[in-house]
Amino acid sequence: MRRWCAIIFLLATVWPMPGLEAAEKDLLLQGNYLAGQGQYEEAARYYKRVLEEDGSAAAAYNLAVIYQHELNFKAKAILYYQRFLESAPHDPEAAQVGQWLRQCQADIDPQAAPAENNPQMDTSSPVNMIQADGGSSYIQQANQHLAQGQYEKAILAYRQGMFIDRAPVACYNLAVLYDYGLHYSAQAIYYYQRYLGLSPSGDLAAKAKSRLEKLKQELAIQKNSVGGIKVYRLRS
């Protein structure tokens, strides 16, 4: 009996479990189906499972394109484009991926002209657009973190100001951070809407409405680019 157990254990360690590749293929297909239904965040969860299992280049590619073209999360798109190029540097679409990667990098950190030749350069910085709120220590802390470029700490403090102090300005500042700092349009839209829900007639309502409509238009253009035809093809 021990001999048979030893043989079975040896086989299991030498040969991969049958159906593993099929299972990962199935996860990719499920992710593609969800993306086709417009459920991009759910699709991303399936792609990430495949990526964690075997570092699939196809999963990295699919994650990158939906983060760039659908969810407008440029920082995440950059991460997964880089992982794709590391895994498949000679892929037929490597040149196109490189172009998308550079586009995302330029969107997040454009090589602006010197300040004297571009007096409006600083107007899009979230540091110059956030609002102070003397009644919330969390917002004061968040503004300090943001000024130091510590976006993650700023987001946490703004959320505390939103949930604990119930300060509408926390929602507005979060929207500005995601909009102009991280370039995550979907998140920015969410927080502009949260602000308007809490303070529909507030001092910042007009600015929030104006920026909200522009972001929605930009997302609509991206999702219907090239005459309504997708500029990418999900892999399976």
The whole model's pTM is what? Answer: 0.49
Concatenated DSSP letters for 61-107? HHHHHHHHHTS-BHHHHHHHHHHHHHH-TT-TTHHHHHHHHHHHHHH
Asked whether the beta carbons of 158 and 177 are under 8 A apart, the reply is yes
Beta bridge partners of 184: 73
Structure tokens at 68: 């760039």
Which domains can be identified in the chain, with CATH numbers?
21-108 (1.25.40.10), 124-223 (1.25.40.10)
- Which phi and psi angles does 73 have, rounded to 5°? -100, 85
Encode 39-77: b = buried (16+ Cβ within 10 Å), e = exposed.
ebeebbebbbbbbeeeebbbbbbbbbbbbbbbbbbbebb
Read off the pLDDT of residues 103-140 as tens digits, 9 standing for 90 and up: 888 777 654 333 333 333 334 566 667 787 756 888 98
Beta bridge partners of 73: 184
Helix (H, G, I), strand (E, B) or coil at 134: coil
Read off the pLDDT of residues 59-79 as tens digits, 9 standing for 90 and up: 899 899 899 888 888 888 888
